[in-house]
Amino acid sequence: MIIGLTGGIGSGKSAAADRFALAHGIHVVDADLKSRVVVEPGRPALGAIVDRFGDAILLPEGTLNRPALRERVFQDPEQRLWLEGLLHPLIAEEIRNDLASATSPYALLVSPLLVESGQYRMTERVIVVDVPEHIQLVRTSSRDGVAEQQVRAIMQAQAQRDERLRHADDVLTNEGSLAELHQQVDALHQRYLALLEGVTK
């Protein structure tokens, strides 16, 4: 069974995924990490990005300047659509290969764009980590040291909260402490094991 895990920026997806992996040994595939792999030096996607945006999009050592690219594409919806069209199929292939290697009872696909990219179609269930938008803004601004305006632009590009929740089979509410989030993850893990055994709790 493949389970998708998503949530807006600053919602706590990584904290939830870490709990599944470290406490329960679940194989986690992180779509964000795969998005980095496909633009590594020597990969065709990086060449295509440089052709479109110029050498200024590279750092001195020849790797992608991700903040600069993010700033360009979130200011221009047409550029963002072009980039997604280039990267999403490559990322999907990386994800499928990694999921195929899982040996845990179920695997977790963690993606901020699970709904928007259509990656949810790879999964049997979807978990949404849900927080109010004002918490997303505060967490992300303080964590990444970026302006609130840029965080809002990223949030606009992601699925809206109600759209994500419409796709949810399970919701983790992450307004409280890390311990409270862990308790919810632990309960979901037991539920999934029961589902896999054909016993619904």
Q: Amino acid identity of 129?
A: V
For the record, the structure tokens of 119 come out as: 């990656």
Please report the beta strands in 101-164, taking only residues with DSSP state E, as ranges in sequence order: 107-110, 125-130
Strand order in the sheet with 27-30: 27-30, 107-110, 2-6, 125-130, 170-173
pLDDT of residue 126: 97
Q: What is the pTM of this model?
A: 0.79
pLDDT of residue 118: 86
The residues facing 109 across adjacent strands are: 4, 29
Local mean pLDDT, 10-residue blocks, the chain (201 residues): 90 93 97 93 94 93 92 89 92 93 96 86 94 72 70 69 88 91 97 85 47
pLDDT of residue 19: 98
